[in-house]
Structure 1
Amino acid sequence: MAQRILALELSGDRVRAAVAERSWNSFTLAGVYDKVRADDEADLTGALSRLVVEAGQPDIVISALPVDRVVKRLLDLPFKDARRLHQVVPFALEEHLPFPVDNGTVAFIRVGREGDHTLVMAAMVRKTDLQQHLDLLKKAGLDPKIVTLAPLALAAMLTRSKNGNGNGAKPMAHLVVEGDESSTSVVLVDLGGTPRAMRSVPAGLMMSDGSPVTQDAAAPILNSLRQTLLAHGEEAEPTEVIVAGAAAAYPKVRGMLSDSLAMSVRDGGAFDYTGLFEGSVPNGGKFSTCIAMLLGELPNHPLDLINFRQGEFMFRGRVRGDLSPFYTSGMLAAALLAVLIFHFALGVSAKLNRLRRVNAEIAAVAGPVLGETDPANAKVQLQSGIAKMNKRLNLIGGNLTHSPLDTMVAVSQALNRRFPVQMTDVQIDSQGLRVTGQADSFTTVDQAKRALDKSGYFGSIEVAHAKAGSDPSKVDFRMDANFKDAVPATDREIEE
């Protein structure tokens, strides 16, 4: 779900705002708004409420303090460690102030590095002024996640958008002038994009009707611009002046600056912002500072904004669509899932390795008999092969307990050639002997039975049947003789 981000700038009797919609991979400028305090309203609460109704309820709010309420200094500190910076910056800033910082809130951002040194833009606002700002927004139902310094964000945005155009233009320093009827702020950004100076003047360059102020009224502002350029001449050569805020909408104001400073002056709203926002971006010189603050919430490479919501003023609200409170739980769950997957993979790997070893052993055992075969079918193929071999052995008598040859010798010795018995069929199996033939009488059949019994080679001997044959002088008979260790002939017949 897309998040709606509202950036607010409160100046005198006017509220300006810009709204962006952010998803995980897009950042779109949704609109800009301008509301003025009504004559019967004591403060800007009404204007803020009307703006929220028109722009829609935001998920994230970024607001800017008036520049005349903030003390700014560029500090050069001889280390880069972030923890030490948080410890040292308030005391380093206090050295440049005629009063202690105990009653103020200090914030800073790193704006550059030179060797082992860190350039820091530090700022301080009195706690009472910050609390009044938060209370005013709270009346309109707004709780800003970031309270920042708009001119510094504006300078960073213009530097990024210009450098990101890829138009091959010669690098230049920027003197960013942002102002309206009541105040003017100045930020000097060097060729590398590092802010070198920041000043504010409690006076405007324009009248309420948009016409420029007189030379006498503009003198403090123009003198401040000249002093800034002279103090940083080597770092800011060549320099172009960029006008933003309400003054950017009036060419006469830009003409006055150009004539007074003898320098080229550009409208901040004329910069190409397509590399920062998706879709079309209107000429927003009047709303440049608000648009710049939105970039603090870019999905990728957001601007680093000074944030006065520190310490007792820390933002403790919840942001719709912000999953950061669940990051720890999500990371623990992901780690647990990774352990489970790793454990499962190890188990599968061990089982596969064991299966490979078993298959190799099966192939080693069955290979000499079956050749190359699937280990999964080796048992079935071996059983089938054994059954076929047994069948063939049965046919030749090779797997019988009593050799057919020995059996025939025993029968031949018991029933010699002179014995009046003619055998027409002889069957030998694992149980014994079955003889079918003819004799000259029933007495001869009985004598043959006794002769086989006397040989000692057989166990039980039974005459299955004996009857007169087709030849009246012959008797047909069938005799079953079991081996000594075989089951009786009657049991064998039941099995058959």
Structure 2
Amino acid sequence: MAKKFIGIDIEKGTLRAVTAEMTKTGPVLTAATLRPLAADESDLSQALSEILGDLAFGDRVATCLPAVGSFFRTLEFPFSDPKKIAAALPLELAGQVPNGEDLEFDFLAARPQDGQFSIAAAAVKKSAAAAMAEKFQEAGHPLHLLDLAPFAWVAGLRKHVDKGVLATLNQKEVVLARIEDGQVADYRSLPRRANLDTQKIASLMMREYLALAHAGKHPPLPLILIGSGVTNELRQTLSDAGLSVQVPSLKLAGEPLEPAFLPAAALALRTALPERERNLNFLKGELAPKSEWSGFRRRLIGASVLLGLCLVLLGAGAYTNYAHKMSRADALREEMSNIFRETFPQATVIVDVPAQMRSSLVQLQDRARLLGLGSDRSALSILREISARSPADVTLDVRELSFIGEQLRLDGTTTSFEAINRLSRSLETSPLFRDAQITDAKMGLEGTRVDFRLNLRITPEEFIR
């Protein structure tokens, strides 16, 4: 999910918010929202909560303090180290601004000038900064960046405005700032009275514009207008006075953004700038935003509780399933034991029912083969085969018939050695026997009978077709 940068512009009776999202090519404006406010801004916290909604981790929110009531000075130091400047700044400004104890100071990046470093420094009241931060805390969303007008707008519009006079008109004030090399070189802040018509506002702006332009000793500079007070009539009046009037072309969803939303858009773009560029942010010390984890603490606790409940339910379900299967397994083992006892009543010790049952079945199958049940390779079947294959004129007395694995040993007597050879050749023609070998043959003591031993290899069942 892309990181969001949200600029909040608060003016009398209106709250405007513009969202920018970071892409591979830089920040892009993605949303603009307007929310009416009560005259006393009593519903500001609720409005902030509605507009900001649920922020993701890493999203940043910014606003700025009005220029009225702030202080700005350009100082020179022989060093550019930010830590040294931060330490020396309060002492340097103490004699130049009133009531320095209640002020929060900050400064822009140092610029080399004539062997020294020029520092643009600003100061705001700590009470004003604390009040603004508290409004966001009441809305349930911490404020990450608190800048100052017009510095925040100039920094956000740096890629669009490098030189000129930026004029911001809203319900509270009219601020004109001379921009040099993308930074505020000087500015004027004038409270705006409600009874001023377009002509009087244009005259006031012309006077301050000329003062800023002449102070900078620059050729005619373009006048860039932003804010809710920018109207077509005002633009035309200033153009008729000979000024080059411009409005920054910021686009949202392919359409130009209205001038009233440009301050909020500039704040969103200012928030997206990297910290190394050194812009103003008065949230320091006690006002510094807490770790982003604290903003998500309540949600993390809720998510942890929900995750814990899910794990408990999952564990209970797994245990119930396991217990059911174990109960089923016990029932099946009991049933197998009963069947085994009924089938093999002679068994007195039962240890492993499946193994004992397989062993008993093998023994029964062996006995069945010997008894000639369901097989043509039983002892009776083989005896019948031997009797059928024996020559009719051969007298044969069988003394012993032994099964040894896949072999059959036949011991007996006959009338002559020729009779034994004829019997062997005849049995070899049977499909039940692979071969017949005479292992022993000798004449008896009486001289009329021949004792013999004949080994027959039994053909496996899978080879008998």
TM-score when scaled to structure 1?
0.53
Question: Which amino acid is 2:233 matched to?
Answer: K
Relative to 1, partners in 2 of residues 1:91 and 1:220: Cα closer, same or farther, differing over 3 Å? Answer: farther
Match of 2:165 in 1: 175
Residue 294 of structure 1 aligns to a residue in which SS?
A: helix
Report the CA distance between 1:81 and its aligned residue. 2.2
Report the CA distance between 1:284 and its aligned residue. 4.3
Match of 1:305 in 2: 279
Show the 5 A alignment for 1:245-256: 245-248=227-230, 250-256=231-237
Relative to 1, partners in 2 of residues 1:41 and 1:107: Cα closer, same or farther, differing over 3 Å? Answer: closer
Report the Cα distance in structure 2 between the residues aligned to 1:320 and 1:203, rounded to whole angstroms: 39
Question: Which amino acid is 2:145 matched to?
Answer: I
Residue 227 of structure 1 aligns to a residue in which SS?
A: helix
Residue deviations 1:179-231, cap 9 Å, x none? 123311111012x3342102211116x88xxxx82544655444332222222
Specify which of 173, 179, 185 is matched with residue 196 of structure 1: 185
Question: Which amino acid is 1:255 matched to?
Answer: Q
Show the 5 A alignment for 1:405-424: none
Q: Is the 8 A contact 1:25 1:299 kept in 2?
A: no
Question: Which amino acid is 1:61 matched to?
Answer: V
Show the 5 A alignment for 1:322-471: none
Report the CA distance between 1:145 and its aligned residue. 1.0
Report the CA distance between 1:266 and its aligned residue. 0.7
Relative to 1, partners in 2 of residues 1:46 and 1:283: Cα closer, same or farther, differing over 3 Å? Answer: same
Match of 2:31 in 1: 31
Relative to 1, partners in 2 of residues 1:25 and 1:115: Cα closer, same or farther, differing over 3 Å? Answer: same
Match of 1:257 in 2: 238
**Would you say 1:184 and 2:136 are equivalent positions?**
no
Match of 2:4 in 1: 4
Match of 1:416 in 2: none
Relative to 1, partners in 2 of residues 1:156 and 1:41: Cα closer, same or farther, differing over 3 Å? Answer: closer
CA RMSD, Structure 1 to Structure 2 (Å):
3.2
TM-score when scaled to structure 2?
0.56
Residue deviations 1:49-101, cap 9 Å, x none? 33234xx536321111122132222323333222221112222233322x232
Q: Is the 8 A contact 1:296 1:303 kept in 2?
A: no
Question: Which amino acid is 1:57 matched to?
Answer: L
Residue deviations 1:288-308, cap 9 Å, x none? 222222233437688643100
Q: Is the 8 A contact 2:20 2:269 kept in 1?
A: no
Show the 5 A alignment for 1:108-123: 108-110=107-109, 112-123=111-122
Relative to 1, partners in 2 of residues 1:103 and 1:213: Cα closer, same or farther, differing over 3 Å? Answer: same
Residue deviations 1:290-329, cap 9 Å, x none? 222223343768864310011221222316999xxxxxxx
Report the Cα distance in structure 1 between the residues aligned to 2:175 and 2:281, rounded to whole angstroms: 18
Residue 263 of structure 1 aligns to a residue in which SS?
A: coil
Relative to 1, partners in 2 of residues 1:16 and 1:119: Cα closer, same or farther, differing over 3 Å? Answer: farther
Residue 100 of structure 2 aligns to a residue in which SS?
A: coil
Report the Cα distance in structure 2 between the residues aligned to 1:105 and 1:93, rounded to whole angstroms: 11
**Would you say 1:142 and 2:141 are equivalent positions?**
yes
Relative to 1, partners in 2 of residues 1:140 and 1:320: Cα closer, same or farther, differing over 3 Å? Answer: closer
Q: Is the 8 A contact 1:153 1:303 kept in 2?
A: no
Show the 5 A alignment for 1:229-244: 229-232=213-216, 234=217, 236-244=218-226
**Would you say 1:227 and 2:211 are equivalent positions?**
yes
Residue deviations 1:322-345, cap 9 Å, x none? 9xxxxxxxxxxxxxxxxxxxxxxx
Report the Cα distance in structure 1 between the residues aligned to 2:239 and 2:49, rounded to whole angstroms: 39
Q: Is the 8 A contact 1:27 1:299 kept in 2?
A: no
Relative to 1, partners in 2 of residues 1:150 and 1:320: Cα closer, same or farther, differing over 3 Å? Answer: farther
Show the 5 A alignment for 1:197-212: 197-203=186-192
Residue 237 of structure 1 aligns to a residue in which SS?
A: coil
Report the Cα distance in structure 1 between the residues aligned to 2:275 and 2:144, rounded to whole angstroms: 18
Segments of structure 2 that go 5 or more residues without pairing to the other structure are 297-465
Report the Cα distance in structure 2 between the residues aligned to 1:299 and 1:218, rounded to whole angstroms: 33
Residue 150 of structure 2 aligns to a residue in which SS?
A: helix
Residue deviations 1:396-447, cap 9 Å, x none? xxxxxxxxxxxxxxxxxxxxxxxxxxxxxxxxxxxxxxxxxxxxxxxxxxxx
Question: Which amino acid is 1:253 matched to?
Answer: L
Relative to 1, partners in 2 of residues 1:113 and 1:157: Cα closer, same or farther, differing over 3 Å? Answer: farther
Relative to 1, partners in 2 of residues 1:28 and 1:264: Cα closer, same or farther, differing over 3 Å? Answer: closer
Residue 123 of structure 2 aligns to a residue in which SS?
A: strand
Match of 1:444 in 2: none
Question: Which amino acid is 2:32 matched to?
Answer: V
Report the Cα distance in structure 1 between the residues aligned to 2:287 and 2:276, rounded to whole angstroms: 22
Question: Which amino acid is 1:244 matched to?
Answer: I
Report the Cα distance in structure 2 between the residues aligned to 1:133 and 1:116, rounded to whole angstroms: 39
Match of 2:76 in 1: 76
Match of 2:327 in 1: none
Q: Percent identity?
A: 22
Relative to 1, partners in 2 of residues 1:112 and 1:264: Cα closer, same or farther, differing over 3 Å? Answer: same
Question: Which amino acid is 2:260 matched to?
Answer: K
Segments of structure 1 that go 5 or more residues without pairing to the other structure are 164-172, 323-496
Specify which of 244, 247, 251 is matched with residue 267 of structure 1: 247
Residue deviations 1:350-373, cap 9 Å, x none? xxxxxxxxxxxxxxxxxxxxxxxx
Residue 121 of structure 1 aligns to a residue in which SS?
A: strand
Question: Which amino acid is 2:234 matched to?
Answer: V
Relative to 1, partners in 2 of residues 1:130 and 1:264: Cα closer, same or farther, differing over 3 Å? Answer: same
**Would you say 1:289 and 2:288 are equivalent positions?**
no
Relative to 1, partners in 2 of residues 1:311 and 1:301: Cα closer, same or farther, differing over 3 Å? Answer: closer
Residue 91 of structure 1 aligns to a residue in which SS?
A: helix
Relative to 1, partners in 2 of residues 1:156 and 1:42: Cα closer, same or farther, differing over 3 Å? Answer: closer
